[in-house]
Amino acid sequence: MIRLERRRRQSRAWALATPVLAVCATVATGMVMFALLGKDPVEAIRTIFWAPLFDPNLASYARPQILVKAAPLVLIAIGLSLGFRANIWNIGAEGQYIMGAIAGGATALALYPLDAWWIFPLMITAGIAGGVAWAMVPALLKIRFNANEILVSLMLVYVAEQLLASVSIGLLRNPDGIGFPGSRNLQHYESAANSELITGTGIHTGVIAAIAVALMVHALLRLHRLGFQIRLAGLSARSAAHSGANPKRLTAICLAAGGGLAGLAGIFELAGPAGQLTIDFNVGYGFTAIIVAFLGRLNPLGIVLAGLLMALTYIGGEMAQFMLNLPAAAIQAFQGMLLFFLLSMDFLSRFRIAFGTARIN
């Protein structure tokens, strides 16, 4: 008889192998999906995964773009992963990302056209503060009223989207924009612009920040008491409480970290690649980052790799869109599928397929 048997401890080898297996399974299923859409599946996969990296005509454009897309995904996913580890489910990063951009953007626009070195750091701080403030709403409601943070943080995404729509055609609209919606373009405001540090590489301050944050969080989880408490809270809330962790404090910290990093990603994106606040400024990084966090196994260094891979599917997806006429939604479904395969294969690391009757432990 075939049975599932719970492993006494998670299998390390399987934990590393499952993301790879999940990617393979997604590629296989994706090929079926692309074939059903009437596209050559091999050509589609080649365009998505190979062309952005190695195609001689495209790579020079695509490689920097991968870093540009990966930076916000990695920043947000690392913030979320802290909460996910502790069973605190902030899924409103999209809203915190928007609020970071609005807060930081408003700061910069208020100072326009002043030229000073401190504008950029101030703007970044305001961006973080905007994200933290937005994440504190679910945190406080959870702490004070025990309201479900999943629902509250998600509801606030819709509220933030409305605010974004409002400020980009109202309060923060470009006064010199001859009636066009959207704010001034920060790329043209030197003191606030988050421009490429090395031309042609796509590396902007946000990319550096993403790497720095990954290393810092990696150290925090391994070396600091707080990291231990976060990991413990996810395994057993009661043990964490006995070890002296304050669950309310953990809730606040995890949500603040998620919100702050999402806000940081938002302001880097606004001051750099996006340039201006418009009604469609947010493109779903906050949600895709959830997939990135799981794909990276909630591990900061894993998340960096996962973010790069996910950015590759974005850029490859865009290329497939105009080269093969593959619909944009196909890539979204493809990314969703990846999360499914990951979650379903995860059981291999926690269970063992056993034959014969149960052993008595």
Residue with token string 């393979």: 24
Q: Which of 165, 203, 237, 283 binds other proteins (CB under 8 A)?
A: 165
Rounded to an integer, what distance in angstroms lies between the CA atom of residue 294 and that of residue 303?
8
Identify the sign of the CA torsion 12, 14, 17, 18: negative
Give, in degrees to the nearest 5, the angle at Cα 43 between 39 and 45.
95
Rounded to 5, what percent of the chain is helix, strand, coil? 70, 5, 25
Backbone φ/ψ region at 297: left (φ over 0), alpha (ψ -120 to 50), beta: left
Q: Which stretch binds other proteins (CB under 8 A): 69-77, 152-160, 212-220, 245-253?
A: 152-160
Residue 129 or 339 with smaller CB distance to other proteins = 339
Residue with token string 């599917």: 313
Question: At closest approach, how far in Å is the CB of 269 from other proteins?
Answer: 20
Q: Which stretch binds other proteins (CB under 8 A): 69-77, 114-122, 154-162, 252-260?
A: 154-162
Burial (CB count <10 Å: 0-12, 13-18, 19+), residue 146: exposed
Give, in degrees to the nearest 5, the angle at Cα 291 between 288 and 292.
90
**Should residue 137 be labelled a site residue for other proteins when binding is judged by CB under 8 A?**
yes
For residue 301, give both structure tokens: 């260094």
Contact pattern from residue 219 through residue 258 relative to other proteins, giving x for each residue in contact according to CB under 8 A and a dash for the rest = ----------------------------------------
Q: Which helix (H) or strand (E) holds 355?
A: strand 351-355
Contact pattern from residue 289 through residue 328 relative to other proteins, giving x for each residue in contact according to CB under 8 A and a dash for the rest = -xx--x--------------------------------xx
Q: Which of 2, 13, 116, 329 binds other proteins (CB under 8 A)?
A: 329
For residue 292, give both structure tokens: 């990135």
Residue 51 or 298 with smaller CB distance to other proteins = 298
Residues in contact with other proteins, counted by CB under 8 A, come to a total of 48
Q: Which of 2, 12, 145, 244 binds other proteins (CB under 8 A)?
A: 145
| Sites for other proteins among residues 31-50 (CB under 8 A) | 37
Residue 48 or 209 with smaller CB distance to other proteins = 48
Question: At closest approach, how far in Å is the CB of 328 from other proteins?
Answer: 8
Residue 154 or 305 with smaller CB distance to other proteins = 154
Residue with token string 């050559």: 40
How many residues make up the chain in this entry?
361
Rounded to an integer, what distance in angstroms lies between the CA atom of residue 8 and that of residue 73?
33
Instruction: Give the CA radius of gyration of the chain.
Output: 22
Question: At closest approach, how far in Å is the CB of 331 from other proteins?
Answer: 8
Q: Which stretch binds other proteins (CB under 8 A): 16-24, 162-170, 197-205, 208-216?
A: 162-170
Backbone angles phi, psi at 8, to 5 degrees: -70, -35
Contact pattern from residue 65 through residue 104 relative to other proteins, giving x for each residue in contact according to CB under 8 A and a dash for the rest = -------------------x----x-x-------------
Q: Which of 31, 59, 340, 352 binds other proteins (CB under 8 A)?
A: 340
Q: Which of 251, 292, 314, 285 is nearest to 95 (CA)?
A: 285
Q: Indicate the SS3 state at residue 354.
A: strand
Q: Which of 159, 211, 226, 237 binds other proteins (CB under 8 A)?
A: 159
Question: At closest approach, how far in Å is the CB of 141 from other proteins?
Answer: 5
Give me the torsion for CA of 116, 120, 122, 124, rounded to 10°. 180
Question: At closest approach, how far in Å is the CB of 165 from other proteins?
Answer: 7
Q: Which of 113, 135, 130 is nearest to 164 (CA)?
A: 130
Contact residues for other proteins, defined by CB under 8 A: 4, 6, 37, 84, 89, 91, 137, 141, 144-148, 150-152, 154-156, 158-159, 162-163, 165-166, 287, 290-291, 294, 327-337, 339-340, 343-344, 346-347, 350-351
